[in-house]
């Protein structure tokens, strides 16, 4: 059996990789409204990047990539913050 700290680190890493799919990292963190927002924002940005002029398509494409890169880090840090809060409440 692995130590609890190893399992917690593995769980946070799992949330990071799930965050690569729009909205799934937030779903795994049980943040259902945020997951819906992530999915809608990603879909709108992706749609706008393919249907607008060349300049705006590039801008929306870069925004889509930026949001895509943001989601896994947000899922990881949310999991980390929740772990730290749980540990703080367990100690006191």
pLDDT at 63 over 90: yes
pLDDT of residue 1: 45
For residue 9, being part of any structural domain is answered with: no
Confidence band of 52 (pLDDT split at 50, 70, 90): confident
79 within some domain: yes
The tally of domains found in the chain comes to 1
What residue numbers bound the domain in which 41 lies? 23-84
Tens-place pLDDT, residues 3-50: 555 556 677 778 778 888 888 888 888 889 999 999 999 999 999 988
Those residues whose C-beta lies under 8 Å from the C-beta of residue 22, and which sit 6 or more positions away, are 38, 39, 42, 43, 68, 71
């Amino acid at each position: 059996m692995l130590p609890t700290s190893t399992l917690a680190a593995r769980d946070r890493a799992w949330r990071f990789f799930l965050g690569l799919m729009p909205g799934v990292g937030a779903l795994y963190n049980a943040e259902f409204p945020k997951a819906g927002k992530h999915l809608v924002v990603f879909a709108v940005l992706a749609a706008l990047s393919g249907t607008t002029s060349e300049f705006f398509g590039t801008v929306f494409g870069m925004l889509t990539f930026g949001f895509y890169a943001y989601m896994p880090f947000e899922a990881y840090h949310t999991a980390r913050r929740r772990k730290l809060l749980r540990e703080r409440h367990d100690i006191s």
